[in-house]
């Protein structure tokens, strides 16, 4: 087990590294899904609905670490799930035995949470990783506003009173990425938004 005096500082360093590393984008994911379906970019432009043929059950914890799926989360680009998976995996690799992340799907948005350190990795956070311990609440006032709670191993998130509360049990990284890729395939939208962080 690697010794680490300040898990929050280590998580902040890795969060910033990944955040600054590349844009929020679905391009790589659409490319991989299309490739798995035998589609070209011309096919996507002609009929993006063809991406709906993607079966998320294809994605497993075993094959998420192999090509071509590895590049959907371990490269410098991606969406919220890719970001959380990349940060969490880097922390687990650099500090074995310190971090052990679980993933949570809170309604078209996925985060990673480490029960032992309380570190929450959320790409929409304006302050980087936060410590969210059992029965604590965190309100994200910048970026995507909402309230997070972690209670009895369940993640709860309330974006606003109209949307209601989303609850999620922990899931493996492969299941989280499968949910993300399913959304990308269903939407068939190519998006690229550049990230920035104020000091």
Query: What is the per-residue pLDDT for 139?
Result: 64
pLDDT score of 141 more than 70: no
Ramachandran angles phi, psi of 76, nearest 5°: -85, 0
The answer to whether 77 and 23 have CB atoms below 8 angstroms apart is: yes
Beta-strand relationship, 101-105 and 110-114: antiparallel
Confidence of residue 160 (pLDDT cuts 50, 70, 90): low
> Distance (Å, rounded) from C-alpha 66 to C-alpha 87?
18
- In terms of pLDDT, which residue wins out, 125 or 60? 60
Neighbouring CB atoms inside 10 A of 55's CB total: 12
Q: Alpha-carbon distance 13 to 91, whole Å?
A: 10
Other beta carbons within 10 Å of 56: 17
Q: Give residue-wise pLDDT tens across range 80-102.
A: 999 999 999 999 999 999 999 99
What's the gap between Cα 6 and its chain centre? 23
Strand ranges in 59-129 using DSSP code E only, listed in sequence order: 101-105, 110-114, 119-121
Asked if pLDDT for residue 1 goes beyond 60, the answer is no
Exposed, middle or buried by CB within 10 Å (0-12, 13-18, 19+), for 194? exposed
- The better pLDDT of the pair 150, 22 is held by 22
Q: What is the pLDDT of residues 61-78, one digit of tens each?
A: 999 999 999 999 998 888
Instruction: Quote the tokens at residue 32.
Output: 């991989």
Distance CA 143, CA 164 (A): 19
Q: pLDDT tens-digit profile of 12-56?
A: 999 999 998 889 899 999 999 999 999 998 998 899 999 999 999
pLDDT surpassing 70 at residue 159: no
């Amino acid at each position: 087990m690697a010794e680490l005096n300040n898990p929050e500082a280590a998580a902040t360093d890795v969060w910033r590294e990944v955040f600054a590393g590349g844009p929020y984008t679905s391009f790589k994911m659409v490319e991989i899904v299309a490739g798995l379906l035998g589609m070209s970019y011309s096919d996507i432009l002609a009929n993006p609905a063809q991406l709906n043929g993607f079966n998320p059950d294809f994605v497993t914890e075993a094959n998420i670490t192999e090509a071509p799926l590895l590049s959907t989360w371990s490269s410098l680009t991606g969406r919220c799930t890719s970001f959380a998976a990349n940060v969490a995996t880097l922390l687990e690799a650099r500090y074995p035995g310190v971090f052990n992340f679980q993933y949570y799907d809170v309604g078209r948005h996925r985060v990673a949470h480490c029960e032992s350190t309380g570190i929450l990795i959320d790409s929409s956070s304006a302050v980087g990783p936060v410590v969210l311990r059992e029965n604590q609440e965190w309100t994200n006032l910048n970026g995507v506003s909402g309230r997070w709670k972690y209670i009895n191993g369940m993640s709860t998130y309330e974006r606003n009173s109209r949307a209601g509360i989303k609850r999620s049990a922990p899931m493996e990284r492969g299941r989280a990425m499968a949910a993300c890729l399913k959304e990308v395939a269903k939407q068939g939208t190519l998006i690229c938004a550049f990230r920035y962080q104020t000091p």
